[in-house]
Chain A
Amino acid sequence: MAERGWLENWVNGIVQPLYEVAPWIVHLVPILWILILIVGSVLILIWAERKVSADIQSRVGPLHHGPYGLFQSIWDALKLLTKEDTIPKQADRLVFCVAPYIVFLPAILAYVVIPVGNGLIAADLNVGLWYLVAVGSIAVLGIIVAGWASNNKWSLLGGMRAAAQLITYEIPMFLSVVVIIMMAGTLSLDQIVRSQSGGSWSLAPPDAPFLNWNCFTLPGMIAAVLYLVAALAEVNRQPFDLPESESELVSGFNTEYSGMRFGIFFVAEFSNTALVSGIAATLFFGGWSSPIVSEGEGFWRIFGDGVLWYFVKITILIYCMMWVKWTLPRVRIDQMLQIAWKGLIPLALINIAIAVAHVAWVGA
């Protein structure tokens, strides 16, 4: 009780006057929780990636820092922070230094429109989904710029491959998203989640609200597969890690980066992994809506709609991405292009026709 009194005093004593003096302070709340979300998910993902890869390869993975090596990522971050930063003499210094900013920005900007929980969305833009696609394509600029400015042959090759890959896979990604827009009739991500979380009009039985998810319709199912394959390529993960293929290009576009500049690329990559899983969960798997009970009572309330399910869903999706990464070999650049131009894009166009039929006969 004493502790609660202290907390109340603290809130009344500091937050309230602060709010009265500067009401704009509330605008800083979303950026704080988004930064915490990004940094937290990156720290956990680095550890999880190593543990999952170790498990798949019958190793044990990090062990020494903390229980089950949980603090390993913190030590990794400290190592990157205290590392000497070198900029090659021949590089274009200004552009070289700007590239990490361009790569990191889309990762944080995209989170603005992702509904993490019921009402937990920084800004519910009415063009949300379009904005998401637009912001997502900024990252490719940063990668090309990083590859070009380094004046290193590996970096240039990595940057060019990244450009070809990211723009190619953006098309199936965009076309699969269009299908969701057709079925939901809105661009707002909050509305898209709500359209999947059941309601009086819904066809699904009340004890199985998950049947409302977009992935349980034929066009939605195809779109989900297309999106997940394209997402693997968009975040440069195996089997589509050509831009930074270690065994051919040293480290690809970020070969010349060291210290925290490299760290920022690393953070952006892992945060993008969490981000595309979040988008997939939002668009196809019902976002924060619960698969079992939409309004529970008593104990079951915690399993109702909310933040819990968003994180459960992205955890499963991220695990699948890691599983794919450590199972499949890397594709060649010609195979990478064939998969997209001869496989995913025609399939995505056919899927739009299927979606028209779905909207016309099953109902929007």
Chain B
Amino acid sequence: MTGHPYLQLLIMTVGGILFVAAAMIVSWLLRPNRPSEVKASTYECGEEPVGSAWFQFPAQFYLIALLFVVFEVEAAFLIPWALKLGDFLHHAAAEGVGSPWFVVVEMAIFLAILILGWVYALRKGALEWITE
């Protein structure tokens, strides 16, 4: 396979969009179209829909999203470290880069700060789901 590997991603993206579009077009050609006022109304178990659904919802979803951002960024930082860990542990001494445990201690400090944050969130009850 020649060409840049990321070219494949571009082709795949375009192909995926075309596939969904093709499914839509085929269905558009085959399906009946008999619109009516009732069909176009919002489904609310057969009742008359009450108001819009674009209203306020619990702030807890935001809390989870905030916690997620912290942990996900931390996990993203873990990847380059994880990739080189084996090299460091087994070859650092031979190449005279210093103690092989240096990278481990560094990551332990980094994770300890994160775990401290997790404990804080736990104690503050941010990880509980308040039902009221």
Contacts and interface: CB of A to CB of B under 8 A. Distances in A.
Interface of A: 23-24, 26-28, 30-31, 34-35, 80-91, 100-101, 104-105, 108-109, 111-112, 122-125, 130, 148, 150-157, 160, 163-164, 167-168, 170-171, 174-175, 178-179, 181-183, 185-187, 250, 255-256, 259-261, 263-264, 333-334, 337-338, 341-342, 345-346, 349, 352, 356, 359-360, 363-364
9 contacts: A27-B7, A81-B27, A124-B5, A151-B54, A156-B53, A163-B61, A181-B82, A259-B27, A349-B115
B56 to A, nearest CB: 11
Interface residues of B, number: 67
Contacts of B23: 81, 260, 263-264
A359 B101 CA distance: 12
Interface string B1-32: 11101111101110111011001101110111
B27 A112 contact: no
A170 B86 CA distance: 25
B11 A259 contact: no
A85 B1 contact: no
A363 B82 contact: no
B57 A27 contact: no
A352 B104 CA distance: 11
B95 to A, nearest CB: 16
A81 B26 CA distance: 7
Nearest to A171: B71
Contacts of A364: 85-87, 89-90
Contact of B71 (A91, A108, A334, A345): A345
Contacts of B31: 81-85, 259-260
Contacts of B13: 105, 109
